[in-house]
Amino acid sequence: MYKSPATLTFLLSSLFTLGTPSPVDTAANVHQKRAEYVRGISSLEVKRSENGPVITQNFPDPSIIKVGSTWWAFATESAGTGINIPMASSTDFKTWIVTSQDALPNTPPWVNMTAQALWAPDANQLDDGTFVLYFSAAVNNNSAHHCVGAATSKNVNGPYVPQSDPLFCPIQQGGAIDPAGFKDWQVKGNWTAVNGNWNSKRAAKYSNNNNNSWTNASWSQGGMGGQRYITYKVDGNSLGNGDLAGYGNCGNTVSPIVPTPIVLQAVAADGVTIQGSAVTILNNNGLSDNGVVEAPSLVKSAGGEYVLFFSNGCYDTANYTVNYATASSVSGPYTRNGPLFQTGTDGLYAPGGADVLWDAQHMVFHADYPDHNATNRPMYTAIINIQGNTVTA
C-alpha cells in the first residue's frame, strides 16, 4: 500500500521519539527506552506477533543477538552440512539469510566429532566488545552425553576459538546442554536525558560523562556492568529409564523419572570464569513434563521481573512447548505461568527451543514444519510483551 513521504515521516518520527522523561530516569525506564529503540526498526516490518518460518531449512534451537543494525542467529548443527554451528543474519528481523560460514570451524579436543551433535549455541557480547559463544557437544568416549563449552571471538560472526576444556560437564548426572548467557542489567550512577529527549540522535549518557550511550553497539547485552550468568540444563534424561508409548524419544517417562534441572551459574565479566556454586531454578514435574525441561533463556523485564523461558515435553512430540516461569529474584523461586506457544498456536507443531533478546521483546524459536517428525525444525520469530508475571505474543 502506498505511503506518502509525509506519512512515512510521521510514522518514523512517532517510532523513534520515545517521549520526554524527567531529567533523571529510573533503571527500569531507561531499560524500556533502550528496548523500544532496538524494537523500533523491526516493528514496522512484523505484521503479527509470531512470524514464520523465517528460515525454512532446518535451524533448530536458535539464539539471537543484535550488534549495531544487524541481527545474528545461531543454531544447532544439521547433519550432512559440514558446518558445526550455522548462522543467519537479518537487518529487519523479518528477512533472514543463512550464511555459508561456520561460527566454530575448529572444535576443542573433548568434542566427539563423529556424533554430529553440537547443540544450542548462544552468542553474547562482553563489556569490552568481544564475544563469547556457549555451546554443547557430545563428549569423546561417551557420545550419549554432552558437556557445555565456550569459545571467544572479536567478531560476532566469528570465527570463534574454543577453550580447551568444557565449562560444565556433570557426566554422572547426565551431562549438560542448552547453555544461555544472561546479564542482570543495572544502571551505574544517574542517567540523564539529552535536552530532555531519549531519541536515537540524542542518546542518553551517564551523568558522569563516560560516553556509554544506550545506542552504542557495545551495549548489545543490555548495558555495561551487571552480574553475568549462564543457565543450562543438566541432561538427566540421557540417564532415563526409557519411554512410555506416545511420549517420544527423550528417554525419561518410565519411573523412576530422573531430574533434569535448569541451573543458574554466576560468571565473571569475561563470561567464562565460574563464581560460586550453581543454583537449580527449575526442574521437571515428572510425567506431566514428559520428564524434560530444557532450553532455558533468561531475561529481565523493564519492570524488573525475571522471566525464564524454557521448553517442556519431548522435542519430537506434540507436547513440546515454549513455556515460561517468573520470579522477583534472579535465583528464584520461579513460578510457572505458561505456556506461551504450544501445538495448535497459529498452526504451530512442537514449538520450542526459544531464545529472547535482552530487551525482553524479541524472540526466536523453532517448530516442526512441514512434517511433524522433528526432521526439519525451521526458525520462527515473535514479538512478546511482559507485564508483571504474564507474557503475551
Which cell is 323 given? 513455556
Closest CA to 317 of 292, 295, 286: 292
Q: Which residues pair with 137 in a beta bridge?
A: 118, 147
Which residues does 58 contact at the CB level (< 8 Å), separation at least 6?
78, 375, 376, 377, 378
The residue from 36, 50, 61, 235 that is catalytic is 61
Structure-derived torsion over alpha carbons of residues 125, 127, 128, 134, reported in degrees to the nearest 10: -30
3 state SS of 144: strand
> Residue 231 and residue 177: Cα distance in Å, rounded?
10
Closest CA to 161 of 220, 217, 87, 102: 102
Active site residue 50: no
Active site residue 61: yes
| Number of neighbours of residue 213 by Cβ within 10 angstroms | 16
> Residue 205 and residue 95: Cα distance in Å, rounded?
32
> Residue 392 and residue 35: Cα distance in Å, rounded?
17
Burial class (CB in 10 A: 0-12, 13-18, 19+), 286: middle
Q: Which amino acid is at 252?
A: N
Q: Say how many Å lie between the first and final Cα of the chain, rounded.
A: 25
* CA atoms 52, 369, 58, 359: torsion sign: positive
The residue from 243, 294, 355, 368 that is catalytic is 294
Cβ burial 24-37 (10 Å sphere, 16+ → b, else e): ebeebbbbbbbbbb
Q: Which residues pair with 381 in a beta bridge?
A: 51, 364
Which cell is 372 given? 511433524
Maximum Cα–Cα distance across the chain: 66
Which cell is 262 given? 535448569
Active site residues: 61, 294
